[in-house]
A = this chain, B = another copy of it.
Amino acid sequence: MQIESVDFYYLAMPEVLDIGDGSQDALLVRVGAGGYVGWGECEAAPLVSIASLVCPLSHSACKPVAASVLGQRLDRVDDIARIGQLVREQSLDLLQADHTLSGIDMALWDVLGQRFAAPVYRLLGYARAYPKTPYASQLFGDSPEETYAKGRRVAEQGYRAVKFGWGPFGRGTADLDRDHIVAARESIGADAVLLIDAGTVWQDDVERASQSLAALEQCRATWLEEPFVSGAHGAYRALAARSGRVKLAGGEGCHNYFMAEHMLDHAGLGFIQIDAGRIGGITQAKRVADAARQRGITYVNHTFTSHLALSASLQPYAGLRDHALCEYPVEPKALAVELTREHLVPDANGQVALPERPGLGLHPDLDALAKYLVEVEIQVAGRTLYRTGPLTL
Contacts and interface: CB of A to CB of B under 8 A. Distances in A.
Interface in A12-70: 12, 16-22, 24-25, 43-48, 50-52, 55-63
Contacts of A22: 58-59, 62, 93
Interface stretch (A252-260, A318-326, A354-362, A363-371): A252-260
A57 B16 contact: yes
A382 to B, nearest CB: 7
A375 interface: yes
A303 to B, nearest CB: 13
A330 interface: no
B47 A92 contact: no
A376 interface: yes
Interface stretch (A129-137, A149-157, A175-183, A228-236): A228-236
Interface in A237-292: 253, 255-259, 261-262, 266, 278
Give the size category of A's interface with B: 35 or more
B377 A58 contact: no
A47 B258 contact: no
A48 B45 contact: no
A245 to B, nearest CB: 27
A153 to B, nearest CB: 22
Interface of A: 10, 12, 16-22, 24-25, 43-48, 50-52, 55-63, 85, 88-89, 92-96, 98-99, 166, 199-200, 203, 229-234, 253, 255-259, 261-262, 266, 278, 374-382, 385
23 contacts: A18-B60, A24-B58, A24-B59, A44-B94, A45-B52, A45-B93, A45-B96, A46-B55, A47-B55, A48-B95, A50-B51, A56-B374, A60-B166, A89-B200, A95-B96, A95-B99, A96-B96, A231-B262, A232-B258, A233-B258, A262-B262, A266-B266, A377-B379
